[in-house]
Chains A and B, each alone.
Chain A
Amino acid sequence: MVDVASETPVRRISNAYQNWYRFSRNPTAVIGALIVTLVVLAAILAPWITPYPEHVGAVVNFRARHLPPSAEYWFGTDNVGRDIFTRVIFGLRISLLLALVVLGTAVPIGTMLGLLAGYFGGWVEIVIMRLTDIALAIPPLVMALAVTAVLSPDLVNSMLAIAALWWTWHTRLIYSITRQLRTQEFVEAAETLGASKFHILFREILPNCVSALSVKTSLDAGFVILVGASLSFLGLGIQPPTPDLGTMVASGSAFLPDYWWESVLPGCAILVVALGFNLLGDGLRDLFDVEDVR
């Protein structure tokens, strides 16, 4: 005997449809998603969509040096005659790789530590959270400067340096969410039903962190790219001739203001990528209705 109909019926509007509806009416989110998609596609397809893929390496063509933007060279050429547009598109690859690797290590580590500290409390919480406080006190850029100064200035080391500090933000975020969820009745219910700690952490609490995590990660991608570009600008990141946006801004800045395109256009590329991730993050925040995420 099944009898549900008489109770207040809840209209089934699918979650996906609701989300899509709200997303499509949120211009910030749509623009952000569009920029990010374009950037990612451009980076992946770089060898096929760029006019001079061979200009990625140490090509020298003095007859074409310092040419202003034109139909032939969209973003102009640099001091050794390479196409800047090609190098910007390839530069996106490095920036995205940086974001992927840094966040790919920092997010799982930070999430894990946050879950443990928030759920278990006691000395686990004290150890993890004090460690987090210490790490938070060091600015990532200073840390990266120190690491690359001690080791050698290259991409791997700068990624290492940034990742070594970035997890703290995620630990903090997940810690505060877990603390709130720990006393929720559904978590207590799982405890009284005999569920394992593993189950409670990863099946009950973690799924409720996903929306906040995706907002945070999207916002962070923009920041990591900015920090990476700053390092390269200072000569501590990716070494030439590999095309990197920060390095290009730095080397182009020597020829300001006459050959402005050599530094300004790669700079604009950094701006657009960082903006795209930020808009997407803000849009996701509105969509998921998560607060307290920077």
Chain B
Amino acid sequence: MTARPMLELVGLSKHFPVRSPFGRITGAVRAVDTVSLTIPRGGVYGLAGESGSGKSTIARMIMGLTRPTAGDILLDGENITGQAGTRAYGRKVQMVFQNPGSSLNPRRTIGQSIAVPLEAHAYPRAGRAARIGELLDMVQLPADFARRYPHELSGGQKQRVAIARALAVAPKLIVLDEPTSALDVSVQARLIDLLVDLGRQLELTYLFISHDLSLMRNFAEEVGVLYLGRIVETGPTASVFEHPAHDYTRLLLASVPVISAEEEAMRPRIELIDGEIPTAEKLLARRQASHLPQDP
């Protein structure tokens, strides 16, 4: 057993150029700003953030859909930053997308969709049908679903198919980009059950991206809180949730709608500004101001 991590991001950055009306580059938006994190083999790392935090950009860079401006992506010790888009790459990392409605081609059967990675990686033609049945069974769907079209499936079933498709190439890492945010809570629970079971059986490593902190608390072993492209706080899930150090983490936790008094007691108290829960910018600005030395 080596202690080599499955995924390592080192100083990963993505800047999008800002252009003037004449096309001159006048600046850059730092969508992702020197993000570093490490996920051990078989681990579940949760990346929490709101819209604009850069969490999707990080996923796209890991998947090779976007080229990083700077930094390295190490998978199982191997630097894969330059390999983006190659076939060997797809074998190692797979992704389950957020929207079950659009991640499957509406004009192709479930079987055809799952066959895409098998064809791409030259899986023997004779064994494909059996392999598709096997993959469907792994996500607890009957084999005859292979003949159905996406519109005949519920949202949860579509996400199961997306998971089966991701598993087809036996990847080492699966990026889960808000896989349950479009699903009902009971369907979500059963999908997470499935992911947990599969993770144990197949020793999968997950990067779980979500804005749902309650779900993250129960699924991820370690979390990173992302704000404006930077990880502002990271650590084991329980300790970050119980003793949040950063104001933004505290604000996020305080905003989660909860269903019991115990949870409410655990949420940090955020001081209201003008009778309102402050926005992140306002809260951080106030904190910065209070740290400034007072005028003599």
Contacts and interface: CB of A to CB of B under 8 A. Distances in A.
Contact flag (A, B; Cβ within 8 A): yes
Interface of A: 1-4, 7-10, 12, 15, 184-186, 188-196, 199, 203-204, 207-208, 210
A7 B105 contact: no
B219 interface: no
Interface residues of B, number: 48
A239 B151 CA distance: 53
Contact of B95 (A4, A7, A192, A207): A192
B65 interface: yes
Contact of A191 (B85, B112, B119): B85
A193 B94 contact: yes
B82 interface: no
A119 to B, nearest CB: 14
Contacts of A207: 105, 107-108
5 contacts: A2-B137, A2-B141, A186-B103, A186-B104, A204-B105
8 tightest A-B contacts by CB?
A: A207-B107, A194-B90, A194-B120, A193-B117, A185-B103, A185-B97, A194-B87, A8-B154
Contact of B141 (A4, A184, A192): A4
Interface in B114-155: 116-117, 119-121, 137, 140-142, 148-149, 151-155
A196 B107 CA distance: 18
A185 B102 contact: yes
B226 interface: no
A10 B116 contact: no
Contacts of A208: 105-107
A192 B64 contact: yes
B157 to A, nearest CB: 6
Contacts of B262: none
Contacts of A185: 97-99, 102-103
A12 B116 contact: no
Nearest to A18: B151
Contacts of B93: 192
B250 interface: no
Given A185-B99, A203-B108, A190 B116 contact: yes
B184 A189 contact: no
B240 interface: no
Output the residue of A15, A188, A199, A210 with the most chain B CB within 10 A: A188
B118 to A, nearest CB: 9
A7 B94 contact: no
A176 B84 CA distance: 27
Given A2-B140, A4-B157, A194-B91, A189 B103 contact: yes
B102 A8 contact: no
Nearest to B62: A192
Contact of A186 (B64, B102, B148, B152): B102
Contacts of A203: 108, 112
A204 B150 CA distance: 14
B105 A1 contact: no
A186 B90 contact: no
Contacts of A1: 140
Given A185-B103, A199-B120, A192 B90 contact: yes
B277 to A, nearest CB: 33
Contact of A193 (B90, B107, B149, B153): B90
A193 B165 contact: yes
Nearest to A196: B120
A10 B157 CA distance: 10
Contact of A199 (B85, B116, B156, B165): B116
B220 interface: no
A7 B157 contact: yes
A209 to B, nearest CB: 9
A93 to B, nearest CB: 35
Given A4-B142, A10-B152, A195 B116 contact: yes
B37 interface: no
A260 B99 CA distance: 63
B64 A8 contact: no
A15 B149 contact: yes
B169 A184 contact: no
B284 interface: no
B162 interface: yes
A207 B104 CA distance: 13
Given A8-B184, A199-B116, 19 more contacts: A4-B140, A7-B154, A8-B154, A8-B155, A10-B151, A10-B152, A12-B152, A15-B149, A185-B97, A186-B113, A188-B97, A191-B65, A191-B85, A192-B95, A194-B121, A195-B117, A199-B120, A203-B108, A208-B105
Output the residue of A188, A193, A207 with the most chain B CB within 10 A: A193
Contact of B116 (A8, A15, A193, A210): A193
A2 B133 CA distance: 12
A204 B168 CA distance: 18
A273 B111 CA distance: 42
B63 interface: yes
